């Protein structure tokens, strides 16, 4: 991060490794004949393993629109309103920060690049006028304005977004009517020539995605015109390259170009943009995934998650199952074999080991859990969930939400984190307001603009409640309203009240998380009802609902361990959805290391000693004792554990413990 080219160098190393593997694999393929004459050299030979199949993405792609019928879909953000809770506080901190950032300062480098006057004070960090990533945050900002307007009805933030779209459209016109960026096309020339450059398509994607969000969520027609122009420019630029050249271009991080272009194809009702999106298919990354092979070691994590989101979108628009397999295999590998107890993934921005070697990975670096990765994995997860309505996706989503997203924003100023350290002795470090603008600042400001987007989903007739977050749902099409109230997770229960103008029959599906101990206790209008809904399933109540009918569900929680797969005595402890952590050492690091534009500098402060825990019995509830009416836990009288998301900046902590 201190060296802006570190991402690229990392990726070059990783790509050369995976390319060599792909070539070697291709050489293994040999024809099978029907010859059976003894000694015939052409006869098939018995081999270990299976014959390598063809590489699914080695043929040219041809896009044909054939929409997938998802099992469920999320409610629009305009139909859900957060009510007071930690999530509401995060949303509001972010919203206030969106108001504080100056539109003209954000526009400064775009205007300069277009030759338009600007006297605004330049921003710092990754938005500095000489930073090759400049302009990326402006795309995130447009998305955040659009999402915040949808989530809260804040018209002032919508108008600020509209102003920026209009000003950016002037820049685009000045640049010829199609290209739009805060840097000249010369960066793309360098990309084409394979010269050193910092991810120009990554930034281009953010701006394109911001325009798409402003069109979709704020009905800004001009934003769609700008996006189409940007798509046309990308079409022209990529069409001039051979397939081989394009695959080399894809060695450089390019964000979610494919996803944005697939979305543009839908909005513009033009398959041409989907064909452009197909050009951003990195074959040597997709081929092993489509064959359910984990070849992720050595890859830069957040370069690749957006590509898989693009694959998921491609599957939804074409029903091409190869793309389904890429998304499904990737999600399963990352979540089941490469995810820490926080729900996050990555170390030094990459995957450094083979699957299920997290303890080994922790020894190789301290900058774990890039926040962008959590953002993008959640984005991918809600898509995969919609295809199947399988509640296991929300076990993961909830884990990330409570343990990686809550806590990585300062609720008094909206500033966010880059990495979330899980090496024992790590601490939280937050960016500054005008001198940071990391990638994670960008994804963070989107994340906290859309915290309400996955609480509720629906099918044609049923409501699915996936998260216990206080909120109001207004299903306008069905004239059904739902009000969720609780003090979750401080209290392990939630209450859902139905509000209808006249009695309505529909199934209410309430997710029972996998961490529930035993069975949930359920009452309807104050009277206990029988329930056999097991953890990891839905509790379904189908009935004719009257206004005021209410359900209360209690989710029994207990402490459970999550051992490292490759070092079972190194364990994290959770209580319900909450990862627990303890402050270690004298409880402080210098304030200068907790805030700043450089991100966490773990190397500047020696980690304090972390106590070993003596688990007297296998059941951690025997020796990790919860205090009454508090989410504070005493460990054998010597250590206190609290929810990880409540530990603030400048406090060294541990979430993993050596247990003897
Ligand atoms: Zn990031």
pLDDT tens figures, 261-277: 999 999 999 999 999 99
Chain centroid, CA 361 distance in Å: 21
Cα–ligand 1 centroid distance for 507 (angstroms): 40
pLDDT value, residue 166: 98
Cα–ligand 1 centroid distance for 224 (angstroms): 27
User: Residue 631 — very low, low, confident or very high, per pLDDT cuts 50/70/90?
Assistant: very high
Cα–ligand 1 centroid distance for 172 (angstroms): 27
For 78, the token pair is 């305009």
Cα–ligand 1 centroid distance for 428 (angstroms): 15
Cα–ligand 1 centroid distance for 199 (angstroms): 13
Cα–ligand 1 centroid distance for 225 (angstroms): 29
Question: Is the pLDDT confidence value at 74 over 90?
Answer: yes
Cα–ligand 1 centroid distance for 432 (angstroms): 15
Cα–ligand 1 centroid distance for 3 (angstroms): 14
Cα–ligand 1 centroid distance for 373 (angstroms): 7
Cα–ligand 1 centroid distance for 307 (angstroms): 15
pLDDT value, residue 47: 56
Cα–ligand 1 centroid distance for 206 (angstroms): 13
Cα–ligand 1 centroid distance for 412 (angstroms): 22
Nearest-angstrom CA–CA distance, 203 and 439? 10
pLDDT value, residue 31: 36
Angle at 380 (CA atoms; ends 376, 382), nearest 5 degrees = 120
User: Residue 244 — very low, low, confident or very high, per pLDDT cuts 50/70/90?
Assistant: very high
Cα–ligand 1 centroid distance for 441 (angstroms): 7
User: Residue 144 — very low, low, confident or very high, per pLDDT cuts 50/70/90?
Assistant: very high
Question: Is the pLDDT confidence value at 408 over 90?
Answer: yes
Cβ-Cβ contacts under 8 Å for 107 (sequence gap 6 or more): 118, 120, 138, 164, 167, 168, 171
User: Residue 25 — very low, low, confident or very high, per pLDDT cuts 50/70/90?
Assistant: very low
pLDDT tens digits, 529-566: 988 899 999 999 999 999 999 999 999 999 999 999 99
Nearest-angstrom CA–CA distance, 504 and 507? 10
pLDDT value, residue 606: 84
Cα–ligand 1 centroid distance for 439 (angstroms): 4
Cα–ligand 1 centroid distance for 495 (angstroms): 36
pTM value is 0.92
pLDDT value, residue 321: 96
Cα–ligand 1 centroid distance for 306 (angstroms): 12
Angle at 211 (CA atoms; ends 205, 212), nearest 5 degrees = 85
pLDDT value, residue 318: 98
User: Residue 218 — very low, low, confident or very high, per pLDDT cuts 50/70/90?
Assistant: very high
Cα–ligand 1 centroid distance for 614 (angstroms): 37
User: Residue 46 — very low, low, confident or very high, per pLDDT cuts 50/70/90?
Assistant: low
Cα–ligand 1 centroid distance for 322 (angstroms): 28
pLDDT value, residue 51: 58
pLDDT value, residue 53: 65
Cα–ligand 1 centroid distance for 370 (angstroms): 6
For the chain, the average pLDDT equals 92
Distances (CA, A) of 523 to 264, 297, 493, 549: 46, 48, 11, 11
Q: 45 and 334 in contact (C-beta within 8 Å)?
A: no
Q: Who has greater pLDDT, 299 or 10?
A: 299
Cα–ligand 1 centroid distance for 288 (angstroms): 25
β-pair type (456-458, 537-545): unpaired
Question: Is the pLDDT confidence value at 29 over 70?
Answer: no
Question: Is the pLDDT confidence value at 617 over 60?
Answer: yes
Cα–ligand 1 centroid distance for 531 (angstroms): 43
Torsion, CA 165, CA 171, CA 172, CA 173, rounded to 10: 110
pLDDT value, residue 44: 53
Question: Is the pLDDT confidence value at 17 over 50?
Answer: no
Tell me how far apart the 2 most distant CA atoms of the chain are, in Å. Answer: 85
Question: Is the pLDDT confidence value at 5 over 80?
Answer: no
Cα–ligand 1 centroid distance for 6 (angstroms): 13
Question: Is the pLDDT confidence value at 228 over 90?
Answer: yes
Residue with tokens 């990495």: 419
Percentage of the chain lying above the pLDDT 70 cut: 92
């Amino acid at each position: 991060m201190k060296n802006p080219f570190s991402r690229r160098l990392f990726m070059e190393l990783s790509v050369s490794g995976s390319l060599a593997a792909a070539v070697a694999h291709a050489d293994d393929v040999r024809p099978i004949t029907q010859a059976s004459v003894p000694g015939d050299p052409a006869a098939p030979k018995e081999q270990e393993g299976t014959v390598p199949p063809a590489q699914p993405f080695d043929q040219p792609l041809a896009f044909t629109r054939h929409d997938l019928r998802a099992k469920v879909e999320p409610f629009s953000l305009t139909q859900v309103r957060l009510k007071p809770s930690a999530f509401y506080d995060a949303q509001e901190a972010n919203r206030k920060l969106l108001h504080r950032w100056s539109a003209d300062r954000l526009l400064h480098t775009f205007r300069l690049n277009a030759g338009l006057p600007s006297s605004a004070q330049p921003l710092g960090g990754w938005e500095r006028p000489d930073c090759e990533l400049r302009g990326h945050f402006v795309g995130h900002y447009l998305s955040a304005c659009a999402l915040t307007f949808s989530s809260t009805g804040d018209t002032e933030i919508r108008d600020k977004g509209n102003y920026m779209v209009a000003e950016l459209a002037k820049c685009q016109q000045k640049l010829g009517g199609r290209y739009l960026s805060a840097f000249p096309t010369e960066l793309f020339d360098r990309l084409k020539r394979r010269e050193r450059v910092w991810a120009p398509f990554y930034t281009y994607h953010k701006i394109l995605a911001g325009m798409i969000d402003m069109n979709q969520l704020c009905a800004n027609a001009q934003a769609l015109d700008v996006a189409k122009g940007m798509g046309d420019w990308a079409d022209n630029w990529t069409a001039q390259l051979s397939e081989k050249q394009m695959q080399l271009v894809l060695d450089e991080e390019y964000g979610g170009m494919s996803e944005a272009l697939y979305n543009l194809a839908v909005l513009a009702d033009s398959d041409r943009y989907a064909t452009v999106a197909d050009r951003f298919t990195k074959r040597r990354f997709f081929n092993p995934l489509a064959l359910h092979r984990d070849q992720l070691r050595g890859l830069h994590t957040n370069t690749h998650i957006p590509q898989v989101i693009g694959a998921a979108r491609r599957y939804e628009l074409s029903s091409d199952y190869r793309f389904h397999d890429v998304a499904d295999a990737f999600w399963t590998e990352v979540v089941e074999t490469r995810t820490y107890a926080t729900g996050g993934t990555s170390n030094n921005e990459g995957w450094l080991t083979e699957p299920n070697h997290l303890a080994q990975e922790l020894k190789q670096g301290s900058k774990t859990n890039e926040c962008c990765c959590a953002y993008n994995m959640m984005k991918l997860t809600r898509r995969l969930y919609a295809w199947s309505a399988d509640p296991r996706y929300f076990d993961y989503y909830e884990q990330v939400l409570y343990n990686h997203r809550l806590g990585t924003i300062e609720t008094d100023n909206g500033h966010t984190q880059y990495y979330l350290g899980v090496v024992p002795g790590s601490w939280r470090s937050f960016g500054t307001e005008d001198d940071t603008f990391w990638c994670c600042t960008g994804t963070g400001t989107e994340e906290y603009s859309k915290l309400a987007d996955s609480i509720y989903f629906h099918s044609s007739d049923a409501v699915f409640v996936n998260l216990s977050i206080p909120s109001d749902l207004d299903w306008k099409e069905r004239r059904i309203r739902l009000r969720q109230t609780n003090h979750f997770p401080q209290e392990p229960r939630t209450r859902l009240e139905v509000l209808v103008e006249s009695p309505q029959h529909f199934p209410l599906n309430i997710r029972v998380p996998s961490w529930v101990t035993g069975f949930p206790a359920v009452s309807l209008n104050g009277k206990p009802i029988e329930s056999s809904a097991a953890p990891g399933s839905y509790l379904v109540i189908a009935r004719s609902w009257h206004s005021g009918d209410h359900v209360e569900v209690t989710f029994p929680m207990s402490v459970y361990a999550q051992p490292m797969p490759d070092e079972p005595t190194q364990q994290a402890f959770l209580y319900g959805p909450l990862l627990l952590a303890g402050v270690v050492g004298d409880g402080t690091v210098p304030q200068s290391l907790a805030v700043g534009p450089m991100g966490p500098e773990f190397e500047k402060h020696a980690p304090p000693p972390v106590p070993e825990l003596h688990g007297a019995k296998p059941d951690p509830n025997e020796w990790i004792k919860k205090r009454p009416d508090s989410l504070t836990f005493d460990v054998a009288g010597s250590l206190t554990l609290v929810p990880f998301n409540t530990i603030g900046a400048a406090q060294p902590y541990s979430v993993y413990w050596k247990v003897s």
